[in-house]
A = this chain, B = another copy of it.
């Protein structure tokens, strides 16, 4: 139990002496480099294990000389969530340069498989690691596999390609996120009855499809009395989402819940507040609590300036969120650990599904 804390930690040299070999040989074994007789490998490995030897990362880092370069392949459009990730990468610049790490952002049309694949291919050889917001498509998968083949460390970010050989996925489980949204909508509706609407960008997007799947799962099994209306596809555009919704509200007077799967939140919020005003005007003479009774429970994704405001105003009830700062830092740390051959702290790098309501806004 009582380790002698005053003893200086072991070094490569100690292991070398103990195994009866030279520094270089231990180094070779440590990094699984070829050119060592199997028997020697065994002896060295034993010495390492016996002493629970941990090489000093700082010394290793210093000795390399060469700085490490990472590329982040991000969507080129003006997506607020992606911009947040880029902003958080920017905030790390001091941290990065003190470690002689460089992170370069490569903007691409990630929605066009061939363009994305070409972008990835063009990175080969120049970077130690690549983080990519990936589209799940065969040619993208192939490009990722090629990078991995060439020795580049690859992590998928926010959107995964599970069938590829990427080393790690930094993002949330979207089915669970959809389930969480469903549980919130159902629970917050409470005893009331009525219908539930869903607005998504497109059901062809893997993450949107997964969220809808999870949402429907929960609605069907736990809130069977709430009828779920067919998914509206707003293409993540504000205007389109607003119009589709307004029309839907016209056709169904009994909508009590709404799940916005992707972006276009501005339009969704607009449609909701318009509806609230109309309802209020209609019922003002009779009852005063149209706000309470007719209020539509609204759950969406991500904490942006807009959703923050909607939450504070009470228009939105909850946002399911994946912390963009955490994703940015986790991607960098994972790439670094992979490049160094260090173990990944799974717990630390796991992205949680955050439920954000008005009182726990970050």
Residue numbers of A with Cβ under 8 A of B are: 5, 8-9, 54-59, 61-62, 67, 69, 88, 91-92, 94-95, 97-100, 102, 176-177, 179-180, 182-184, 187-192, 214, 218, 317, 323, 325-326, 329, 342-343, 345, 347-348, 350, 352-360, 362
Contact = CB atoms under 8 A, between A and B. Distances in A.
B188 A191 contact: no
Given A58-B57, A58-B61, A359 B99 contact: no
A270 to B, nearest CB: 23
A92 B345 contact: yes
A43 to B, nearest CB: 23
A228 B57 CA distance: 56
**Most chain B Cβ neighbours within 10 Å, of A9, A59, A355:** A355
A319 B358 CA distance: 16
Nearest to A3: B102
Contacts of A98: 54-57, 342
Contacts of A350: 362
A291 to B, nearest CB: 13
A347 B325 contact: yes
B187 A9 contact: no
Query: Which of A9, A57, A102, A342 is packed against the most chain B CB atoms within 10 Å?
Result: A57
Given A183-B359, A347-B88, A62 B58 contact: yes
Contacts of A183: 357-359
B99 A9 contact: no
Contact of A91 (B8, B97, B100, B347): B347
Contacts of A323: 352
A326 B92 CA distance: 19
Nearest to A297: B187
A5 B67 CA distance: 10
Contacts of A218: 359
A91 B187 CA distance: 37
Contacts of A342: 95, 98
A355 B355 contact: yes
Given A58-B62, A352-B360, A97 B9 contact: yes
A189 B180 CA distance: 18
For the complex of A and B, 4 pairs with smallest distance between CB atoms: A190-B190, A58-B61, A355-B355, A179-B359
Nearest to A99: B57
13 contacts: A9-B67, A54-B98, A56-B99, A57-B58, A57-B98, A177-B360, A183-B358, A189-B190, A218-B359, A326-B348, A352-B362, A353-B359, A354-B354
Contact of A5 (B102, B325, B356): B102
Contacts of A347: 88, 91, 325
Nearest to A318: B355
